[in-house]
Structure 1
Amino acid sequence: MGLITGVFTFFYHLPQIYKWLLKPYYVASFLMTVAFLVVRKTPGLCEHLATQREDGNSCDFDWRELEILMFLSAIVMMKNRRAFTLEQHIGNLFLFSKVANVILFFRLDVRLGILYVTLCVAFVMTCKPPLYMGPEYIKYFSDKTIDEELQKDSRVTWIVEFYANWSSDCQSFAPIFADLSLKYNCAGLRFGKVDVGRYGEISQRYRVSTSPLAKQLPSVMLFKGGQEIMRRPMVDNKGRAVSWTFNEENMIREFNLNELFQKSKKLNKGCGIKGEDTHPEVGSNELNPDDDTKEPKESKKDQ
Structure 2
Amino acid sequence: MGLITGVLAFLYHLPQIYKWLLKPYYIVSFLLTVAFLVVRKAPGLCEHLATDREDGNSCDFDWREVEILMFLSAIVMMKNRRAITLEQHIGNLFMFSKVANVILFFRLDVRLGILYLALCVAFVMTCKPPLYMGPEYIKYFSDKTIDEELQKDGRVTWIVEFYANWSSDCQSFAPVFANLSLKYNCAGLRFGKVDIGRYGEVSQRYKVSTSPLAKQLPSLLLFQGGREVMRRPMVDTKGRAVSWTFNEENIIREFNLNELFQKSKKLNKKQNGFRTEDGSEELQQETSEVQQSTESKKDQ
TM-score (normalizing by structure 2): 0.93
**Contact 1:187/1:278, CA 8 A, preserved across alignment:** no
- 1:7 CA drift (Å): 1.3
Matches within 5 A, 1:73-152: 73-152=73-152
Matches of 2:269 and 2:287 in 1, distance apart? 21
Aligned to 1:178: 178
Classify 1:298/1:184 alpha carbon distance in 2 versus 1 (closer, same or farther; 3 Å): farther
1:152 shift after superposition: 0.6
Q: Decide which structure has greater helix share.
A: 2
* CA distance in 1: counterparts of 2:271 and 2:123, whole angstroms: 54
CA contact (8 A) 1:138 1:192 kept: yes
Partner residue in 2 for 1:3 = 3
Q: Is the 8 A contact 2:140 2:297 kept in 1?
A: no
Corresponding residue for residue 291 of structure 2 = 285
Matched with 1:291 is none
Q: Equivalent pairs: percent with the same residue?
A: 85
Q: How does 1:255-266 map to 2 (within 5 A)?
A: 255-266=255-266
User: Deviation string for 1:217-242 (max 9, x for gaps)?
Assistant: 00000011211111111111111111
Distance 2:197 2:4 in 1: 43
- Of residues 250-259 and 3-12 in structure 1, the stretch that sits farther from structure 2 once superposed is 3-12
Secondary structure of the residue that 1:57 maps to in structure 2? Answer: coil
SS of 2:299's equivalent in the other structure is: coil
Give the Cα–Cα distance (whole angstroms) in 1 for the partners of residues 42 and 299 of structure 2. Answer: 39
State yes or no: 1:301 paired with 2:261: no
Which structure ranks higher in relative contact order (CA pairs < 8 Å, sequence separation ≥ 6)? 1
Change (3 A) 1:21 1:264: same
C-alpha distance in 2, partners of 1:282/1:252?
A: 28
Structure 1: gaps (5+ residues) = 288-296
SS in 2 for 1:43: coil
- 2:292 and 2:215 map into 1 onto residues whose CA distance is 31
Specify the alignment match of 1:290 in structure 2: none
- The secondary structure found in structure 2 opposite 1:193 is strand
Q: Is the 8 A contact 1:150 1:225 kept in 2?
A: yes
State how far apart, in whole Å, the 2-side matches of 1:28 and 1:302 are: 24
Give the Cα separation in 1 of the matches to 2:284 and 2:204.
31
Cα separation, 1, equivalents of 2:124 and 2:144: 31
1:201 equivalent in structure 2: 201
Matched-pair contact (CA < 8 Å) for 2:40–2:60: yes
**Separation of aligned partners in 2, 1:113 and 1:168:** 25
What do the CA deviations read for 1:99-145 (whole angstroms, capped 9, x no partner)?
11011011101111111111111111000000111100000011111
Unaligned segments of structure 2, at least 5 residues: none
Q: 1:15: Cα distance to partner?
A: 1.0
Q: State the match for 1:169 in structure 2.
A: 169
Asked if residue 66 in structure 1 is aligned to residue 66 in structure 2, the reply is yes
- After superposition, the Cα gap between the structure-2 partners of 1:16 and 1:144, relative to the gap in structure 1 and judged at 3 Å, is same
For residues 193 and 26 of structure 1, the distance between their equivalents in structure 2, rounded to whole angstroms, comes to: 26
SS in 2 for 1:161: strand
TM-score by length of 1: 0.92
Cα shift at 1:278: 10
User: How big is the shift at 1:11?
Assistant: 1.2
The 3-state SS of whatever aligns with 2:291 is coil
User: C-alpha displacement at 1:268, in angstroms?
Assistant: 2.1
Q: How far 1:2 moved relative to its partner?
A: 1.6
1:147-162 → structure 2 map (5 Å cutoff): 147-162=147-162
What are the superposed Cα offsets for residues 257-291 of structure 1, whole Å, 9 maximum, x if unpaired?
0000000011222466967659956996259xxxx
Shift in alpha-carbon separation, 1:152–1:283, aligned structure 2, 3 A: closer
Contact 1:139–1:281 (CA<8 Å) still a contact in 2? no
Partner Cα distance (1:200, 1:281) in 2: 29
| Secondary structure of 1:113 counterpart | helix
Tell me how far apart the structure 2 counterparts of residues 53 and 170 of structure 1 sit (CA, whole Å). 44
1:239 maps to 239
Distance in structure 2 (CA, Å) of the matches to 1:85 and 1:279: 33
- Is the Cα–Cα contact under 8 Å of residues 188 and 264 in structure 1 kept in the other structure? yes
SS at match of 1:285: helix
| RMSD (CA atoms) | 2.1
2:192 counterpart SS class = strand
Aligned residues: 294
Question: Is the Cα contact below 8 Å between 1:79 and 1:92 reproduced in 2?
Answer: yes
